[in-house]
Structures are given as C-alpha cells and as structure tokens.
Structure 1
Amino acid sequence: MAESMKGLRRSHRCTEVSRNNVGETVTVMGWVQKSRNKGGIIFVDLRDRSGILQIIFEESDIGSEGFAKAARLKSEYVIAVTGRVEYRSGAVNENLVTGDIEIRAHDLRILSEAETPPFPIEEDSKTKEDLRLKYRYLDLRRPDLQRNLMLRSKATTVVRKFLTEEGFLEIETPMLTKSTPEGARDYLVPSRIYPGNFYALPQSPQLFKQLLMVAGYDRYFQIVKCFRDEDLRADRQPEFTQIDMELSFVDVDDVIDVNERLLKTLFKECIGIDVELPIPRMTYAEAMERFGSDKPDIRFGMELKNVSEIVKNCGFGVFTSAIENGGSVRGINAQGQANMPRKQIDSLVDFVKDFGAKGLAYLAINEDGSYKSSFAKFMTEQELADLVNAMEGKPGDLLLFAADKDDIVFAALGNLRVELAKRLDLLNKDEYKFLWVTEFPLLEYSEEEGRYVAKHHPFTMPMDEDLHLLDTDPGKVRAKAYDIVLNGTEIGGGSVRIYQSEVQEKMFEVLGFTKEDAYNRFGFLLNAFKYGVPPHAGLAYGLDRLIMLMAKEDSIRDVIAFPKVKDASCPMTEAPSTVDDKQLAELGIAVVANKEE
C-alpha cells in the first residue's frame, strides 16, 4: 500500500550525494531500478533523472517491519529513503558517478507501487520503437533519453542568454494565422465564429517577424512550435521547434557573424566542443559541383568529378548520349574499394535508382594496374587512362559513374557518396563539421505548376548584381540566402529579405501572381511595407535536428518528449482521432467518406 510523504522532504537527487556527504544523513527519492535480496541484506539501485545510487537495507538498521517492506520492492516502485552516507563496503563501481558510496537506510517509504513494465527501463533499449512510443512515459525514464531532453533544455537556456545579451527581444507570434499556401501544406483549424473559414497553424513565424522589424523592434527571437502537413522521415515531424530570429539594418555577413558566435557558445557550453571560427562558406553552385548536394557532409572526401569533356567522344553510348542530351557524366572515387564484391556494387546500382538514375557504371583498378569494368570494352586504352587520371584513381580504387541530366546525376552521386561513407564507416559522430552554403537559386521551375516558385520563400532578396536577370533569365538569379549545415544535415537557413516595394512587386510578377493575388495572400505585409521598412534579414534553426546531432542520435524522435510516428500519429494518445458530431455541427463541418471510383 502506498504511503504519503508525511512532511518528508528530499535533501538530494541521487547523484548529488557524493563522498563529501559521508557520515551525513540524507533523504533521496526515486524509482527502483533493480533490487537484489541476498538474505540478510538487500541492495537496491535507486534511479532519478540525475542517475543511480545504491541503497542497502539491513534489519539491524531499519527494523523487521522496514526490512520486510524492502524485501517486496520491485522495479519501478517509487520510494523515499532516509539513511546515512557511507563508503561502499563492496567493490567500487567505476561506471557510476556514485560508485564509491552507498546509503545505509534507516527509513523507507513506498510512495507508489508499479506493475511490471512492458519493457526494461534501460539505456540503448533494444525494444521496438512502436512499443516504446506507445508507453512513451516509461520510455522517457531511460537515462539516455533523459540526458537528451536535459541537453535540449540546457541548449535553449544558452540560446536565450546569448541572444538576449546580443540585444534580441523574445517576442511571441500567433499560433492561429492566415493560410498562405506557398510552400508546404498547412494544418487548418476551422473557425466556429466564422463558419466555412479556417485559421492555419504557422509553418514559420516568417511574416510576423518581418512585421516586427517594420514595427521597429530591431532584433527579435523566439523558440517556437511550427507545423507542416508533410510526409515524415527521420529528421522531420509534423510539429517541430525553431530557434527563430530576425535582425534590422543588416546584410548577410552580419547575420552569419552573430550566428557563428552563437554556435560556438552553444557547442562549448553544452557539449564541450570548440567550434573553429570563421565557419567555411561555399556557394550553392560549388556545393552541387563538388558534393552533389546543397547540404554536403564534409567529414570525408569522395567528391564528384565532372568527366564529361573526357568521355564526350568515347565509344560508350550511355556516356555520350547523356552529354548530347544536355546532361553530364560525373564520378566518385571510392578509394581502396576495388575488391568490392559484385553483389555489393549491384546493391549500389539499385540504391541510385531511387534518385532517378538508370544505373551506375563502374571501373575497378586492380593492384597490377589492370581494370575490371562494366564499360572498358567500349573505350580505348588512352581514354581509360585519361578517365582514371581525371578521377585521381590509383591501384585498389573503385570508380563509380552516373550519366544523365545534371539534377539526376547530382542526386544520385550526392546520395551515393553518403551511403558509401555509412557502409565504409567514415562518419565519425564525434566530429562536427560546419559549413555555410550561400547564393542559392532564388527560383526553381515547377513543371507541375507551369511557373517559377520561390526556392525559399517569396520575400527573399535577389543578389544585387542579378536583379536585372529577373526580367530576362529568372532561373539564373541567385538569392541572398544562406543555410548552415552540420555533418550533412541542414540545421538552419535564412535570407536577407526584400524591403523595396518595387522589387517585391517584380518578385510576385515572376512568380505568376497578379497584384490582386499578392494582396489576397500577403496584403497585411504589403500594406505595412508602405510605412517605412528597414533592411532586414533572419535565420531559423531546426532545434530538433540541432539537438539530434549534438546528442549523436540518428532520429529527432530521440530528442523530442512526445514525438509522432511516420504517419503523423501518436501511438500513446492515439491522435488524431474522431470527434463528437456535436463538435462538428458547431463548426458547420460534415465528414464525408471518399467514394470508390
């Protein structure tokens, strides 16, 4: 039967007790990790969020009633223990912070009994994730997840302190906003007061933070929930958290400067990592040419090489036809992998097909300098020698080539180099390689919509020297946009914003909006811009992704307290769920089943 606290107060968390407290009487509270009854003595590992502390119960100290109570302790019972801190009588446990001490109990209260949990509460759990997420409140007791959430808490505290000292004001923006369908799908919220009308949950505070700059607040930040109705993957959730900021009277270098110093402070204070400044910068065009990605992982080499000029007149039709159709032939060098089994090479061929490639051509350089290849018979010895030289190939290397349109080649080889790095164990989670990627394309052409769409959003400033191209060749216009990349993951992105009305009108024109369309969607922002707008720029980090990398986890679900799964549902609460007909009637909404065609 559970007992009450009866005025008892905790004096220490488990790992706050140390050899400095030897001889003192302390009171600790927590969960029973495990209990071992050795007959005349009972050992209990007590766990709270700080860690584990060993308690010993002997009848001579706690009495027969107390010893009987200790004998029925099971895993996950919640208990309060008062006792004397002593040096360990047995061997020191080097794996515990408290491994050299123990508490000799003289009082025990069972505050709450527990059923046997559906899986062990232990680090690095092997239990299937779907079961752990169903009982997430138990999963969150695991020390590794608790460390992750404590790291997240510390990180947000450091961010708030740093930005406040840099003159930023923390200001909240609305959760119920106007739907502006330019980008990902909105989550919609029906209005009871205005039947048939809907709010949208914000995909970001973008428009409001720009309005705060118009309002003269100079520097704003917010750690804020955002929502996108998108398909999920390991680093994406329908609701996620941003560290959002906006600055007035700045350009690209000013935003990069304050954020480099923020990252240096954050990584040093939270995980003891020294971030070397300045962080390297690379243009979008260079990142694509060298790495086939706008978020390159620069912890390893295997860079792409364009060999189109070398093979454009060779006898291998796959190469020549790709070039004739306006594409290219590029390759990567998997050094030392010439002996990769054919079965593994075939698996790489299947891998790149997921990114639109028709296949891969390969050339293995044997130790004696001879070749094993899928295409060597179509090329002369000199052509092969020139190709190997261009790829900086050496005996023992495996050269892999893709030939197609540039965007397919980049996607195939950019993802292939990362896949190879995983298979070859080249990705060191203890290494943190930051990179700024700059000068993104302002626009990209959507075949589906038959028009240009904004690469980031329609308020991004073009590069000054490219403004004239908006009329003649909009696809070549570069943006004053920048992403911060860490180990191949985009952890944040932003841009300088358009603040001149004529440039904003031209941008909307290129995007195919009439003036009426623009005002219907963004009228409140455009009207505000009539009353004096400072030059402004901003950036937003994905907090979940950032903490995932700091914690060396593979999924953001491991750094979010109550995450959703891939179908955007919550196994624990069973959301989303149906609602009462009465609630729907109040909203003027009817749920209609889709008819089979």
Structure 2
Amino acid sequence: MRTTYCGLVSEALMGQTVTLMGWAHRRRDHGGVIFIDLRDREGLVQIVCDPDRPEMFKTAEDVRNEFCLKVVGKVRARPAGTENSNLVSGKIEVLALELEVLNASVTPPFQLDDENLSETVRLTHRVLDLRRPAMQKNMMLRYKVAIEVRKFLDEQGFIDIETPMLTKSTPEGARDYLVPSRVHDGMFFALPQSPQLFKQLLMVAGFDRYYQITKCFRDEDLRADRQPEFTQIDIETSFLAEEEIRAITEAMIRTVFRKVMGIELPVYAQLSYTEAMHRYGSDKPDLRVKLQFTELTDVMKDVDFKVFSTPATTPGGRVAALRVPGGGEMSRGEIDAYTEFVKIYGAKGLAWVKVNDAGKGREGLQSPIVKNLHDAAIAEIIARTGARNGDLIFFGADREKVVNDALGALRVKVGHSEFGRTHDLFEDKWAPLWVVDFPMFEHDEEADRWVAVHHPFTAPKDGHEDLMTTDPGKCVAKAYDMVLNGWEIGGGSVRIHRADVQAKVFEALKIGPDEQQLKFGFLLDALQYGAPPHGGLAFGLDRIATLMAGAESIRDVIAFPKTQRAQCLLTMAPSAVDEKQLRELHIRLRNPTPAA
C-alpha cells in the first residue's frame, strides 16, 4: 500500500524507500532516462526510471498521461541545478525500483495544464477537470474552511442539527424547486431555499445554539456567484443581541481566515444601508476601490439641463457624480465604452466632464453638457467632488435605483480596470465590512404593496414597531450583511419572537389571517409557547471559498456545479423521464407541440 502522498515527499524521507500511487502528469524521455511527474491530490513528485532495470524501464516506456500508477522507489537528492522551489518535493526525486500500471488511460480530451480551456469543456469532462492541480487545491481549501467552521462553532457551544430537505413550499422570494408526492395525489414538497423556519423552531425548542452546513435550493437566474443548489453555513442563537451575533460570527470568519490561509483580516468597517447606497450605490460595496459618489440632486434642481433637473425634482430621483482622479487621460472611445456599459443597468446614457483647469470654472472644463449648467452648479460640482486638474467626472441622473446600479457598477469596473490599478484607484487587500440597518420593507410598484426586504420574520429596530403600520418605508430592521471585497458572504437578522410584533408585520405586508395560517401556521403556533429572543446569520460557503481561492466563479470551488442555464454538462441533467414515472406521480406534461 501507499506509504505517503506524492506531493508530501520531501528531504525528510531522504534515503528511504517509499510506495507511491497516483497519475502520470507528464512523461519525458531524456537520453535513455525516463522522467515521470507523478501526481496525486497533494501535488507532484519526480520519478526517475533508468534502463538498469529493464523490465521496469519497459513498463515506463509505455506510460502515457493520466495512466494510474504504483511506484516503489528510493528518495534521493536531485542533481544540483535541477531543484524546483515551487514544489514540496522540489529538492528530491524518487528512483523507481518497481513500476506497475494500475490502469491505463485513453488519450484525455485536453491537457491538464492547459490554462485556456472553455468552461463548457471543463464541465463536460468535470472528472478530469477536477484532477487539475488548481481544482484539487480549491477543493481541499473548501474542505479546510468547512472543518475550521465546525471547530469554531463546536467550541462556542453550537450544536449541528439537520433539518428537512423535503419541506413545505412558501412562495416568497425566489422560486421553489418542487418535488411531487407519489403517495399524496396532486401534492408537492419543496426543496428548502433556506432552513430559516426550522432553525427558528429549534430556538423555540430550546436548543439555544444551532448550526448546519447544508444544501439550499433556489430556482433563480444565475450569475457568477450563484447556483441553483448551494451550500450554506446556517447559524442561529438565542439570547444574544444584534451586536453580539455579529461579534461571534465575525470571530468565526476571522478564525477561518487565520487557520486556513494564515491571514489576519483587518478591522471591519461598518456602514448603514443608507450610507452604503449613498456613497457606493451598492449594499455590498467593494472597499478596495477608492472611488465614491458625490450627491448632486439638490444642486441640479434649477439647471436648464432637463436630463439633470427632471430626476432632481422628481420624488425618488437622484443625480450623483463619480470623480475619477486622472481620468482626463481617457480617450473618447473609452468613455463611449463606459456609456454602453451603464446601459446594461438601465441608464439612458453617461454624462461626463473633463477637468482641464479647475480654477477657471466653466472655461477649464471640457464636456458637451457644460453649456447647460449655470455657474453656481459648476462651482458646486467642483467643490463637492474635490476635482483637480486632469480628473474626469461621470454623472448619473435617473430614478435612484438606476443611478445606484449604473454608477455603482461603473465605479467597480473603473476601479478594477488596468487604468484603475495603475492610477492608484484600487488597493489589493482584504476589505471586510458590515452593512447594517437595512430597510424593513420595500415597495413593489407593480403589485402596489409593501414586501419584506429580507423575510417577514425579521425584527424591526427598537422603537420602529409603530412605523410598520403608519409609515413602512421608514421602518428599519435589525438586519445585517457581512461583505468581503464586494461579495455578500453572509446575511442575517434578529427575528421576531413576539406575536403582537409579528401581527404588525403581516398587516404591513397585507397578509391576512387565513394566508398567515396557510403559509406559516406551524411557526406562528410554536411562537406562542415562550419563544426566546433569537437571531442568526447564514454564510455562503461557496462564496467564501471562491474569495479565498481567488477564483472567478463559485463553479470553481464546487465539485459538480451547474451551468448558468442550470444544467449539469457531466450527467446531462435535467433530463426527460419515462411515462411510467410520470403516471406514478400523477403528472401529465403540457409541453407545447413542436412545430412541424
């Protein structure tokens, strides 16, 4: 049997005989001596096969990439000048005494060290993709994160309790994945979007501190940081205040970074939701980017330029500026490209001003819009933005959401660009942040009703209970998100544990007694039995691992992910099922008839 992993063979084993098992990463024939880089999950080691052992050497001649091998050999120092400082095994090599092909391999569809593979190829041949050292490293890192999370929570007295995978559909938020019941005709289970209701029930049941690393499911449109099934570090605790919940979960993330990566995260910034939106246009701002918005709504109310004055005088409108230091160097082509970019976020265009000489007022500015702005507005723009010679100012003017989305995305794009990095607009660091005091409700214009920003069991701030019925838009929740480098990695809240407060939330949401009982009756009934004050937070394990690995997508830290169209290219799921299965489930398909 194997005595050690390939990637762990080092000078400590010098002179010893080892038994290794792994895959041929590459094979090289150098003047009668064959070198095989043998690979396993821990890394590579160089195997030397010389012709002094004819039978072993003959086997080595037939070895090709991805053959599964067993090697018995002696550890010795590499010849001077051939060491590889990038490998644990870089100072040694293994002289093969015995070589056995455990299983041959057909020619792989791609070279494992090819860095330019399309994601389609990688996901179609995911088993081979997972053999690549980068993917092996990612999966090991993910495993270590989960281990350290468990260790920390165990030490803090949290209990790992499983909650159901087949549960009740509560169509709030994202779409549910439905599972038809065979034994209950016409009835459906849902796969959980979150263990939210069950973890609250566990608090009522007296378990005090609960956690679970569990799968969750949401049938929603996908992006780089989302999957239809994802892994959540779910945490709930009783008898802790909002700040105490944040403190214990922040300590967990700090511990995980220290243990897994040897990194001490800096002091967490803290912003209210309102301040984050005001300064960055996002509730998950990337603080590595040094750019911020400048508020100009009040300044633009009386300008002749209708593009600015209309949103400035319309309720719910906003005018804001984004100063880019040194941006005057940008070409008109680059500015036009950014104009097209913001249209993705609903912006109709992108006004801009180049500051050639800030001291000359309008004479020192270059822009097609300057002629439409009076001197007082121009002076205020320069003063508020702090513009200097050579700067570029972008403007957003529209409904507040459009301005925030468009300028917020532009801020990140400019900051992360080559221009941003070379002009000190981006600082490569870990930038953790708490965003707190989220609004309790947001207004659904289409349905003309208030909806919960998080979920209907989030508690309002002390003193805000009456606002839920008198002015829901001003009601602030005991809700909080942890943000890291522009990604929301966790979010949670203090929950409602009193029936009278819960009734006001349902009243604000226009959820009547019958609907309350139908959707949430089991929870409401349980809350009557001395429910303790409780709250919690859920982290995205996939997102945390993605950030730690420096990966571009969470698909790079999930063993068998789905595509952005929610397909598994490896197994070709989802797929059709036969008529017998459908009959057993009392299901008849209503697919449109294909056109002739």
User: What TM-score, normalized to structure 1?
Assistant: 0.96
Q: Which residue of 2 aligns with 1:483?
A: 481
1:45 aligns with 2:34: no
1:84 aligns with 2:74: yes
Q: Which residue of 1 aligns with 2:104?
A: 113
Uncovered stretches (5+) of structure 1, i.e. residues with no partner: 1-8
CA deviations on 1:479-511 (whole Å, 9 max, x unpaired) are 000000001110000000000001111111211
Q: Which residue of 2 aligns with 1:74?
A: 64
Q: Which residue of 2 aligns with 1:515?
A: 513
The correspondence of residues 296-315 of structure 1 with structure 2, limited to 5 A, is 296-315=285-304
Q: Which residue of 1 aligns with 2:243?
A: 253
Question: Closer, same or farther in 2 for the Cα pair 1:162/1:430, shift >3 Å?
Answer: farther
1:19 aligns with 2:11: yes
Deviation at residue 314 of structure 1 after TM alignment: 2.3
Question: Closer, same or farther in 2 for the Cα pair 1:367/1:34, shift >3 Å?
Answer: farther
The correspondence of residues 58-207 of structure 1 with structure 2, limited to 5 A, is 58-60=50-52, 63-89=53-79, 91-122=82-113, 125-207=115-197
For 2:505, give the aligned amino acid.
M
Q: Which residue of 1 aligns with 2:202?
A: 212
Conserved? CA contact 1:264–1:276, under 8 Å:
no
- Give, in whole Å, the separation in 2 of the partners of 1:332 and 1:134: 43
| 20, 28, 35: which one aligns with 2:20 | 28
Deviation at residue 367 of structure 1 after TM alignment: 5.6
Q: Which residue of 1 aligns with 2:371?
A: 377
Conserved? CA contact 2:7–2:41, under 8 Å:
no
Conserved? CA contact 1:310–1:386, under 8 Å:
yes
Deviation at residue 323 of structure 1 after TM alignment: 1.3
Q: Which residue of 1 aligns with 2:218?
A: 228
**Secondary structure of the residue that 2:25 maps to in structure 1?**
strand
Deviation at residue 312 of structure 1 after TM alignment: 2.2
Question: Closer, same or farther in 2 for the Cα pair 1:367/1:35, shift >3 Å?
Answer: farther
- Give, in whole Å, the separation in 2 of the partners of 1:466 and 1:523: 25
Question: Closer, same or farther in 2 for the Cα pair 1:365/1:86, shift >3 Å?
Answer: same
- Give, in whole Å, the separation in 2 of the partners of 1:113 and 1:554: 33
Uncovered stretches (5+) of structure 2, i.e. residues with no partner: none
CA deviations on 1:303-336 (whole Å, 9 max, x unpaired) are 1111122232223221112212232211010110
Conserved? CA contact 1:365–1:398, under 8 Å:
yes
Q: Which residue of 2 aligns with 1:447?
A: 445
Deviation at residue 13 of structure 1 after TM alignment: 0.4
For 2:325, give the aligned amino acid.
Q
Deviation at residue 302 of structure 1 after TM alignment: 1.3
- Give, in whole Å, the separation in 2 of the partners of 1:425 and 1:87: 47
Question: Closer, same or farther in 2 for the Cα pair 1:323/1:381, shift >3 Å?
Answer: closer
Q: Which residue of 2 aligns with 1:386?
A: 380
- Give, in whole Å, the separation in 1 of the partners of 2:56 and 2:254: 52
Conserved? CA contact 2:60–2:99, under 8 Å:
yes
The correspondence of residues 274-353 of structure 1 with structure 2, limited to 5 A, is 274-277=264-267, 279-326=268-315, 327-353=317-343
CA deviations on 1:376-414 (whole Å, 9 max, x unpaired) are 112244532321121110001000011112222111111
Conserved? CA contact 1:281–1:435, under 8 Å:
yes
**Secondary structure of the residue that 2:220 maps to in structure 1?**
coil
Which sits farther off after the overlay, 542-551 or 88-97?
88-97
- Give, in whole Å, the separation in 2 of the partners of 1:458 and 1:437: 19
Deviation at residue 436 of structure 1 after TM alignment: 0.5
**Secondary structure of the residue that 2:90 maps to in structure 1?**
coil
Conserved? CA contact 1:353–1:359, under 8 Å:
yes
For 2:153, give the aligned amino acid.
L
- Give, in whole Å, the separation in 1 of the partners of 2:10 and 2:458: 55
For 2:256, give the aligned amino acid.
L
Deviation at residue 189 of structure 1 after TM alignment: 0.3
- Give, in whole Å, the separation in 1 of the partners of 2:450 and 2:15: 74
**Secondary structure of the residue that 1:460 maps to in structure 2?**
coil
Conserved? CA contact 1:192–1:586, under 8 Å:
yes
For 1:284, give the aligned amino acid.
Y
Which sits farther off after the overlay, 9-18 or 216-225?
9-18
- Give, in whole Å, the separation in 2 of the partners of 1:412 and 1:288: 12
1:398 aligns with 2:392: yes
Deviation at residue 429 of structure 1 after TM alignment: 8.7
- Give, in whole Å, the separation in 1 of the partners of 2:441 and 2:594: 39
- Give, in whole Å, the separation in 1 of the partners of 2:7 and 2:310: 67
**Secondary structure of the residue that 1:247 maps to in structure 2?**
strand
User: What TM-score, normalized to structure 2?
Assistant: 0.96
Deviation at residue 586 of structure 1 after TM alignment: 0.7
Conserved? CA contact 1:311–1:387, under 8 Å:
no
- Give, in whole Å, the separation in 2 of the partners of 1:312 and 1:528: 53
For 2:334, give the aligned amino acid.
Q
Q: State the superposition RMSD in angstroms.
A: 1.5
Question: Closer, same or farther in 2 for the Cα pair 1:382/1:325, shift >3 Å?
Answer: closer
Conserved? CA contact 1:429–1:552, under 8 Å:
no
- Give, in whole Å, the separation in 2 of the partners of 1:425 and 1:30: 44
Question: Closer, same or farther in 2 for the Cα pair 1:224/1:368, shift >3 Å?
Answer: closer
Deviation at residue 94 of structure 1 after TM alignment: 2.4
